[in-house]
Structure 1
């Protein structure tokens, strides 16, 4: 089996704007291997989030192919795309998207309710995910009782609880201060290394870029650079 978990070939995405079409992505060719810690970097409007949405099966290409974990995104039915997301892809957003009326435990468990797991199996998985992010003592807390950094750690636990093969993180540090940003990034880096999960970021945050092992730069919907990066944690901060 190929180590390539994401393969984008000649990918183009257009959106209708009035009587014409706006080209958000143009002829994207990218392969991402299992276990990478990579980022789509560039200014707002460069196409980063659009590309992340296609990889996550939330959208489809207008032209070209996007193959994720062996599945052609364009050929998936809505049910098949939902199954891919629910079982194999984790999402982390800048706005946390926690449900305020539920506890930390319930927010993380929510990701498992569509899977065929017993209550005991769910509890074991949730507590393991909370342990990964250092929040086992907060399982009964509501999001309103948490700091921004803690809320984002809950969001990471929710994305990781189903043990996905790919995690897509869209500007995950945008609402955090520097200290919390580095804590979150160190947590994700540790999960990447310990569980061999592929992380793909969308970001223009220099703090995130310092941690990336590969930077894929976008501008005006095109890849303008794609380079590996050595990460020296002693220089981060």
Structure 2
């Protein structure tokens, strides 16, 4: 059972991505021209997506993957190209419709797009779970509980991102408040890496798991840190 703060934030995220920002994210995840701010976010997200995919096997044939918070499905499509069976979950039906339009016909049978909560146990078990820039909107305590819940249904690895608490990131978000609302990123919850590791270690479901590789990517107005969790 997730906390009230998780449920409240989930509703805010669904409203933002499904209505307020759907068109902006459609442009951001395409080749369409975007503002200078969004161009840095696009570049950073491309680099982060490549990083997370590089931490998965090159051949994913026979592997089942959960793309938790898949958005327009770019990571799901790449995982399917490697042979994975992908369950791509997002709160936004609008972004999922975009993902269905973009997926190549030869890969459509490998990806199941579902509107809903990424933490639902109804999706079953997975070899790998990927959560790119989807947990960054939740309080650190809620994110740690979410990670524990996802790992409980994972066999091989989970890779995800969090917003690292840094002076530079704090300054960027302060300055970003002066830009037009259409250029602002949705609210995130920065956390120090050591604090997140502490919270993860405290989760009983993660007693047989450990943190692995990590990488911070900072490109203009995009700052996010990848972290891997694997069995002991």
* Shorter-chain TM band: under 0.3
- Higher RCO (C-alpha under 8 Å, 6+ residues apart): 1
Query: Larger Cα Rg: Structure 1 or Structure 2?
Result: 1
* Superposition TM-score, scaled by structure 1 size: 0.27
**Greater fraction of residues in strand:** 1
